[in-house]
Each structure stands twice: as C-alpha cells, then as structure tokens.
Structure 1
Amino acid sequence: MAELAFAWPGLPDYAARCIRATIDRCGVPVSVIGTRPGVPIEGMEASLGQAIHWIHGEDGSLTWEKLGLAPPAVLIQGGYHLPAINALGRQCRAAGGKVVLASDQNWTGNMRQRFVDPLLVRKRIKTRFDALFIPGASAQRYYRHMFYPVERTVTGLYGSDPTLFNGGAPLMERPKTFLFVGQFIPRKNVVGLARAFIRFVVDHPDWTLRLCGSGEQRGEIPDHPQILIENFVQPPQLAEMLRKARCLVLPSIEEHWGLVVHEAALTGCALALTNVVGAGDDLARPQNAVLFPPRDEAAIERTLREIAAWDIPRWQTAERISRDLARGFGPTRFADAVDDLVHRLA
C-alpha cells in the first residue's frame, strides 16, 4: 500500500479507531491531520495509536512542509470547506499524489439536488478529486444522480467500533426507554420529539424519553417528569446508555448519515428514524425500524405508539436485525475500503 494521509475536520473518536484499523493493516506510514472536534473527546491519540497533527482549519497558508511531512501518495480529504485542508489537497495533487474526497452527502431528491447540485459537483468535485469515499447506499444514490463514475466511488466511510459499542440485555428486558442522542438544534427536531412524547406518554406512562446532547434549544424542551435531559457523554458512557435503551429515535429534518444509528444498532436497539436519515438505507428495515416523514409531530407520536405496541417476538426480531446489519460497518469495513481505494488509484 502506498503512503497515506488523512485530513479530517473535527476529527472524532470513531474516525481515529477506523484509521487505526488501516494503520494496523497497511504497514506503511500513515499521517493523520485534523481540526479538533466541537465536543472534546478523551484519549483520541490512544484510540489512534499515534500522534495527530492538529491544525487550524482556516489557515489557508498551511503546507506539508510546515507540518514536517512530505505530500503523500494518497490523501483522503474530509470535505472541501476548510482552507487549510483544501491547501493540503492542492499541494498533494501538484506533487503527483491522488486526492480522495470523503463525503457524506445523502440523497433526498429535493429540487436543489436535482437541478443545482449536478452543476456544483461537476465544478467542485469531478475536477479536483480522483475518487470518493462515502458512507453507504444513500450517498451512492446521490452521486449516481450527480453522474459521478461508479468505479471511482467506495463505501464504508462511517462506522463505530464494535469493541466499544456492543452487548446489552435483550430488548424486552431493558427499561422502556426511547433515546435521542445529538445536538439540541432545529435541524434535529428534538423539541418536536419532546412534544410528541408528552402526548404519547399520557397513554403509556411506563415509558421514558432520554435526551442526550446540548445546544441552543435546550431551554425550549418542555419539562416533564418522564423526559430526562443529559449532556453529551464520552463514547464509553454513550455505549452504556445505548445498552439500557430499547429504541433510538432520530427525528432529524436533515441527516447525511447519522453515526449514532450505527452505534445504536451495534447495541441491538430498535430504530425510529425520519426517512431522510442517510443511515436508514443501510441499517433500517421493516423488521427493526419504523421510518416517518420529517417535520411531522403527529408522525412521531404514531411511531412511538407503534413501537410501544410491539410484542415479544417483534422486539426479538428487531434486536437481531439491528445487530446483523450493524456488522457491515466499522473499522474493518473502513480499512477494506481504504485498501480498495489505494489499489484502484495505483
């Protein structure tokens, strides 16, 4: 395998663990460059197994030389919005290297995607990047609509570590808990979820809604004795929280993939997702999930009622399907995809 580098905005712990799998496999130097995540994560370099080159994303004057590195043969570049990372990508190509865009854009079929995005992709992506590294089926569909060559596209970008996210009691033995994990912002529609839950819980007083996150809308979430609000937690604590939940609820208005969906599936949770959550194409089936339209509180309430009415065999099936589908993503799949990319670009 040729020498590799990753440039990742807001480098998260799951990415460090996925890159670690690549480092362990390839046996050549792998440089990891990143901007710091919005929520500090403990032990990031321990997860990676080596030092990280932390950078300021707005530094458009950044060079490989300033980092003490030579341009790699292959750079996997996260997005194209940060000047510092764009600068490294340009320099890599100028030195004869290949640059792969890591992109999580998913297909929703709106007017912008149908008529504007094909022009932007042709201008910003096709001429600047040698290949695409994307999460899964929804992103594949998006880039097919953009007329991007299939042979230059590889899936497997996202995935949590099954050595961390695993286990949990059978769903029927867990507390009757719906869990939301994410930012408390309009795009996540957490306020709408809380309002729908309050109507639902009138007839289902034995259920609890647990909200884990932070954000500008925390003060707008209605008070209720069966709505528990907690701050973001570190990955090991999140894994334990998921093991104690029956169902993850993600009512997002927009969600390119949604890593927490994979984390939940690894721990056997059932899924309640809007039909615009990208990970739904990969991890949600009628046997383990209920999908509903975004921006619709009545649909959220109907979904909660439907799931609460499941019998024991249905919960057992949901857990089995979630765990089975989750095995298709994670560090091993990520390392396989990187290996595939490098061989295609050789």
Structure 2
Amino acid sequence: MKIVFLVASYMPHQIALINAIIKQYNVEIHSFSISKNFSFIPNNSKGLITYEPSNYNVIQLYRKILEINPKLIVVAGWFIKDFVGVAKKINKTLNIPVVSYSDTQWRNNWKQKLNCLISPWHLKKAFSHIWVAGIYQYEYARKLRFEKNQIIYNSLSCDIKLFQNVSFEQKTSDYPKNFLFIGRFVPVKGLHLLMDAWQQISDKKGWTLTLVGDGPLKTHYQNEESVIVKNFMPQTQLIKEIQQSGCFILPSVFEPWALVIHEAAAAGLPIIATDVCGATPHFVINGFNGYQVKPNVTSIKNALESFIMLDTKQLIRFSQNSLKLAESITPELGAAQLMSILNKA
C-alpha cells in the first residue's frame, strides 16, 4: 500500500509518526515537502521516499501522484495553495481519502468566519477528512462543516520514546529545584509575564529558573537574578537539561498546540502552562500533574508559589502523573487514527 504526504517541512515528531505508520502497517510513504530541510529524516527510514515539490508545478505534482497511485493522501493543512489545488484535483479524480492536518484553534476572527462560510466550495472540495491535534482544533473543524465521522484525532505527537530516556529514578533521591522554559524568545511566549511573576516571589526556597532557546528578546533576560539563560539545543542535549529540571513552564499568550508540553509530560516533568495552549487540556490537569494558568502575572505567580511549596513526595507524584498523561497521545495512536479511515466496516 502507498500513502502520499504533502508536508511543509520535516520535523522530528513528524518522522516519528511516519515511521510508526510504516512499521505498523507495512506501507510505502511518498512524501513531498516545500522545505529543503531534510536533516531530520533518518537514514534508516525504510519505506519513506522523499521528493522536492520545487521540481514539480501543480499539474506535474498531480500527475506524479496519479503515477504513485496511493490509497490515501495527507496534506499539511490548507495554507499552501498549490497543495490545496492538487488536493482538489485528486479528490475529484480518485476515490480515496484526502486528509488535512489541522493544529488551528477556533478564534472567532473574521478570517476564520470567512473560511467557514466558503468551506463547502473550498476546503470540502479539497479534503474528505480533517486530522486534528486536539479538542480546540475539533471545534474549528466542526465549524468548517466537517461531520463528526470526517474528523480524526491525534495528528500531533512528540517522539514519546525519545523523551522517556530521562531517568526518573535519579530524581527520587535528589529532586531538582529548577523551573524550565523551552521556546523562542518572542513576545507571544509570555516571558515578560513569567519574569514579572518570578520577580514578585521573595522566597524562592532555592528554586531557580532556566530559559532555553533563541530569539530577539533573549538578551533581556540574561542578567536576571536566579535566572539561567541557555542557547537553543538539539533534542539529545535537551534530554540532559530536562534531567536537571523539576517543572516545565510555558507562559505563552497563545499557542495553536505547543508540542513542547507533550515532550515535557513524556519526560516526566510536572507542568505549568497557560490554558490558551492547544495541548494544555490534554497534558495538564490541575492538582494532578501541574496547573493550568491564565496568561497573566497573578495566575502564573500563584502557580509558581504552589510548586515551590510542594515537598519531594508530591513533586514525584506529579511527575509520575505526567508520564501517564503523555501516553494518551503517541505516534502509534496517531497512525492508528489515520489508518482507521481505510478500515471502516
């Protein structure tokens, strides 16, 4: 069996999902990417054949897909016009599922309202199904007039096995008192809220804050008390940083999904995350493994102080619960959701 992926770029989590599909279902995946970044494709990705769409115009890409003769096509959303154009042609010509990724939340803005209005003559002409990341994306898919049985789930999963390499046993004897942020140093990440909240805590009881990433605002935080700023690092190094941390925090003003929350949960970190992040309701339960907070200083400060007051036994319990929640979405489950549309009775 052959499947075609039309993707924006290759990321580690995407390769984990593609490999899960190949391994579980013994399929051959033909993947076209508009990016020239092939660095995340491992050499041992058996069953994955890659192409560069820059070598094809819309008609040539359409003909190439007809030549491949797939049983299923997955498209990276509807923001790449050429891919949507090809999807419409395929949907009209071949009697196969054409699936769109979606990590987009419903935000009730004019652009989304227009998309909903024209969907029957646009998106629904291109796609038979939408593959959503989570519940916030499901809401938008329904407003786009996709039926419940045309919506599938778990399109975004971190590489669970990679992040489970963090040693849990080491933390039980000496739990690290360090809050960890991973992300871009840009306004939408809410670092200004986090720093204001952090500075208002007079007694941090030995806890520190580490910020990992790059971006234009990075220098703003390099001289703050009890704050360590580190450069962006590959995932293999990030595992070591997580090993030395006791809680992950993401104070974003908005995130469509935020895969990093799932990565933190898979690594067994308790989590503080704003409730505007798409992944938050899936991987953060108040008082179970962390706290969902509002994107404001008071809410973040209260959560930080609550963590600081927890003893080692409670922190370990939160950590164990994060591991449980992480398993609710995996590359294998995402693969099963996608392939289920070919196996309906």
TM-score by length of 1: 0.86
Question: Deviation string for 1:320-340 (max 9, x for gaps)?
Answer: 211111112122112111211
Question: Deviation string for 1:120-161 (max 9, x for gaps)?
Answer: 544542332100111122222333454431101111111122
| Structure 1 residues 134 and 87: alpha-carbon distance in aligned structure 2, compared to 1, 3 A threshold | same
- 1:235-314 correspondence runs (5 A): 235-286=235-286, 287-294=288-295, 296-314=296-314
- 1:209-228 correspondence runs (5 A): 209-221=209-221, 223-228=223-228
Aligned to 1:14: 13
Q: Secondary structure at the match of 2:160?
A: coil
Aligned to 1:24: 23
Aligned to 1:196: 197
CA distance in 2, matches of 1:5, 1:183: 32
User: Is the counterpart of residue 330 in structure 1 residue 327 in structure 2?
Assistant: no
Do the aligned residues in 2 keep the contact of 1:72 with 1:92 (CA within 8 Å)? no
Do the aligned residues in 2 keep the contact of 1:131 with 1:152 (CA within 8 Å)? yes
Q: Secondary structure at the match of 2:228?
A: strand
- Give the letter aligned to residue 127 of structure 1: K
CA distance in 2, matches of 1:266, 1:304: 21
User: Is the counterpart of residue 184 in structure 1 residue 188 in structure 2?
Assistant: no
- 1:335-346 correspondence runs (5 A): 335-344=335-344
CA distance in 1, matches of 2:205, 2:56: 50
Offset, 1:222: 5.5
Aligned to 1:44: 41
| Structure 1 residues 119 and 231: alpha-carbon distance in aligned structure 2, compared to 1, 3 A threshold | farther
Offset, 1:94: 4.1
- Give the letter aligned to residue 257 of structure 1: W
Offset, 1:272: 0.6
Do the aligned residues in 1 keep the contact of 2:106 with 2:136 (CA within 8 Å)? yes
Question: Deviation string for 1:85-128 (max 9, x for gaps)?
Answer: 334323432431431011012346x5659955632544542332
| Structure 1 residues 68 and 141: alpha-carbon distance in aligned structure 2, compared to 1, 3 A threshold | closer
CA distance in 2, matches of 1:27, 1:85: 26
Offset, 1:188: 1.1
Q: Secondary structure at the match of 2:5?
A: strand
Offset, 1:278: 0.9
Q: State the number of aligned residues.
A: 339
| Structure 1 residues 124 and 237: alpha-carbon distance in aligned structure 2, compared to 1, 3 A threshold | farther
Aligned to 1:140: 138
Do the aligned residues in 1 keep the contact of 2:211 with 2:230 (CA within 8 Å)? yes
Q: Secondary structure at the match of 1:16?
A: helix
Deviates more, 1:58-67 or 1:79-88: 58-67
CA distance in 2, matches of 1:187, 1:48: 35
CA distance in 2, matches of 1:161, 1:36: 21
Aligned to 2:126: 128
Q: Which runs of 5+ in 1 are unaligned?
A: none
Aligned to 1:162: 160
User: Is the counterpart of residue 5 in structure 1 residue 10 in structure 2?
Assistant: no
CA distance in 2, matches of 1:186, 1:12: 24
Asked which structure has the greater RCO (Cα within 8 Å, sep 6+), the reply is 1
Deviates more, 1:225-234 or 1:54-63: 54-63
CA distance in 2, matches of 1:221, 1:58: 45
CA distance in 2, matches of 1:158, 1:100: 14
- Give the letter aligned to residue 125 of structure 1: L
- Give the letter aligned to residue 41 of structure 2: M
